[in-house]
Amino acid sequence: MSVSPNNSEPHEVPQPPLNLDVSMPELTRALLDYESVSGNERTIADAVHTALSFCPHLHLTRDGDAIIARTEFPPLPGAEGESAKGERTRIILAGHLDTVPLPTVEGSLGTVPATVREEDGHSVLYGRGATDMKGGVAVQLKLASELTAQDTDYNLTYIFYDNEEVASELSGLARLIRNHGELITDADFGVLLEPTNGTIEGGCNGTMRFFVRTRGLAAHSGRAWRGENAIHALAPALAALASYEPKTISVEGLDYREGLNAVQISGGVAGNVIPDAAAMHVNYRFAPDKTLDEAIAHVREVFAGYELDFVDLSPAARPGLDTPLAASLIEAVGQEPQPKYGWTDVARLSEIGIPAVNFGPGDALLAHTDSEHVSFSQLTRCHADLRAWLLSDRDED
């Protein structure tokens, strides 16, 4: 019960459609029942925003289908003068609301609504996004509803965003940083709840995609000597890839495996025409010892003499493990950190000066598969580990 603003008779407060008081598996299952393929996140964003609006300790900002929920707890007693502002340390917990498209295989277990199965004595939740990353979002939501100024010594910024699974220019997190940077850049550390099998994964490889383009001269294939074959001109570039030996590079104690691979080849207009243009689509995954400019310089060297057309450039992120906050999280989780091979949004946080790590429930190897699933125990453990970490500085009476 609560009293209405005009001090009239008490009235019932309606319950939010998304109940944050249920167990971690129940909350994850509720999120899975929202279809939220990239570009279609409105319904789940509405549900998340409504649920968080019932938490009086949170200050909400919404931008399209992305939401920032911040605590603004007062300084701890005696904290004045301990830092420039005398404020609590601020930590970001971030995750995306969108998924890749639904499974195409009829009868797949990755469908909506979600399903529960018992496997080897363990309860397992199947559904699109179970791994990537509605389990992690459920952990965020649970912590956001639970942790008040009486529970934690930190201030917390929870970020829920759209369009992570599509082209980087559509990224909801990038949009939030552009439009509401002041609500994000004041953080001291970040945790992105991407699936890591419950192990901390530091930083991430960078990624770039580009086309190696060749030009030729069209001619009738019956008189091929009158033309110049653009597809044949790709042969040295393919040979360079075939002989390329990707490196494994140690950065701050973690070993990052690189990769340089052709992912598509296109060219030609008909079976009797010498092609006058061809393109090879290449993906380069590079370790966080390189800046974006250094990675670009490297592929220009590999494909010297070729025209390169860059279509996607995403920097790497260093591990982010060399801070006291990372050390305390590692201690709370109790497992040896690993490198993140795929690209994640820790790179966006790193770019704006916030060290961040990946840590979330679910096996990343199951992400985007038609049997995507997460165990109940992983969901519960991830929530417990993060909660214990965020409570770790609380003095006992």
Q: State yes or no: is 98 an active-site residue.
A: yes
CA-to-CA distance for 215 and 231, rounded, in angstroms? 9
385 is catalytic: no
Say which DSSP state 134 is in: I
Backbone angle region of 252, left / alpha / beta, with phi > 0 → left and psi within -120 to 50 → alpha? left
Tokens of 128: 């699109």
Structure tokens at 51: 């649920």
In terms of DSSP bridges, do strands 307-314 and 206-215 run parallel, antiparallel, or are they unpaired? antiparallel
Q: Which residues are CB-neighbours of 1 under 8 A, at least 6 positions away?
A: 10, 11, 12, 13
Under a CB-based contact definition with an 8 Å cutoff, are residues 328 and 321 in contact? no
Q: Of these residues, 41, 87, 162, 164, which one is catalytic?
A: 164
Marked catalytic residue, from 41, 65, 87, 98: 98
Phi and psi dihedrals of 198, rounded to 5? Answer: 75, 20
Q: In what order do the strands lie in the sheet with 277-286?
A: 259-267, 277-286, 206-215, 307-314
> Rounded CA gap, 123 and 316, in Å?
36
Token pair for 205: 């490889």
Cβ burial, residue 51 (10 Å; 0-12/13-18/19+): buried
Alpha carbons 5 and 11: distance in angstroms, whole number: 11
The C-alpha atoms of residue 193 and residue 137 are separated, in whole angstroms, by: 7
Reduce the DSSP state of residue 277 to 3 states and report it.
strand
Which residues are designated catalytic? 98, 164
